[in-house]
C-alpha cells in the first residue's frame, strides 16, 4: 500500500527534475527547504530525522536535489521527504511537504481495536512495518 502523505502523493513518484522544480518554487518564495527521512510511516509521526540543516541560503534548487540523492545513498530504503518552511510572521510553519523516496515494499497499516470500559471500542492504526525494531523495518 502506497503511503499517501503530503503533496503529490497520489501522483507517480517525482523525478529529480520534478523535485527541483518544486524546490525552486519554494526557494523563490523565500522558504527554507530541508530534507528529512524516517522509517516510521505513521501519519501522526511529525518528527522525522533531519538530513543536514535546513538550506536557508541556497539560491538554486540543484542543492536540494543533491542532498536528496546524498540522503538516498544512506537511507535509500526509508521514506524521505522535502519540506519548505515559511518563516514570515503569521505563517511560521511548513508550507510544502512531499515524499521523494519510499521503501521498495510498503506493507501498509492494520486497524487495532482496544476494548474499553463497558462496550466501548477504541480504534487506532499501526503500520505492519512497526512490528520490527527500528532499522530493521524495511529491507
Partner 1 sequence: MTAEPKEMSPQTVDLAAAYEASGVKEVLRELDETLIGLAPVKKRIKETAALLLVDRARREMGLATETPTLHMSFTGNPGTGKTTVALKIADLLHRLGYVRKGHLVTVTRDDLVGQYIGHTAPKTKEVLKKAMGGVLFIDEAYYLYRPENERDYGQEAIEILLQVMENNRDDLVVVLAGYADRMDRFFDSNPGFRSRIAHHIEFPDYSDDELARISETMLAEQNYVFDGAGKRAMEEYIGKRRAQPHFANARSIRNALDRARLRQANRLFETSTGPLDAKALSTITEADIRPSRVFQGGLDVDRAHEETRA
Site residues for partner 1 per CB under 8 A: 52, 55, 57-63, 66-67
The least CB distance from residue 48 to partner 1, in Å, is 20
Q: Cell numbers at residue 17, please? A: 527534475
Alpha carbon of 18 to those of 30, 88, 93: distances in Å? Answer: 19, 26, 23
SS3 assignment, position 120: coil
Q: Name which of 7 and 69 has its Cβ closer to partner 1.
A: 69
Nearer to partner 1, 23 or 96 (CB): 23
Nearer to partner 1, 23 or 129 (CB): 23
Q: In this complex, which beta carbon is closest to partner 1, that of residue 28 or of residue 105?
A: 28
**Where are any strands of DSSP class E within the chain?**
32-38, 49-55, 79-86, 93-101, 109-115, 121-127
Query: Least Å distance between CB 63 and partner 1?
Result: 4
Least Cβ distance, residue 28 to partner 1 (angstroms): 11
C-alpha–C-alpha distance, residues 50 and 34, integer Å? 8
In the complex, what is the shortest distance from the CB of residue 55 to partner 1, in angstroms, rounded to a whole number? 7
CB 98 within 8 A of CB 81: yes
Amino acid at each position: 500500500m502506497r503511503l499517501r502523505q503530503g503533496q503529490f502523493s497520489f501522483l507517480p513518484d517525482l523525478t529529480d527534475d520534478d523535485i527541483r522544480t518544486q524546490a525552486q518554487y519554494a526557494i523563490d518564495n523565500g522558504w527554507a527547504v530541508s530534507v528529512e527521512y524516517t522509517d516510521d510511516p505513521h501519519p501522526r509521526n511529525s518528527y522525522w530525522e533531519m538530513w543536514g540543516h535546513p538550506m536557508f541560503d541556497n539560491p538554486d534548487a540543484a542543492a536540494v536535489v543533491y542532498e536528496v540523492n546524498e540522503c538516498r545513498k544512506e537511507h535509500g530504503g526509508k521514506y524521505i521527504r522535502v519540506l519548505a518552511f515559511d518563516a514570515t510572521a503569521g505563517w511560521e510553519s511548513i508550507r510544502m511537504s512531499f515524499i521523494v523516496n519510499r521503501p521498495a515494499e510498503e506493507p501498509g497499516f492494520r486497524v487495532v481495536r482496544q476494548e474499553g470500559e463497558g462496550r466501548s471500542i477504541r480504534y487506532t492504526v499501526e503500520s505492519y512495518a512497526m512490528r520490527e525494531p527500528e532499522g530493521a523495518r524495511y529491507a
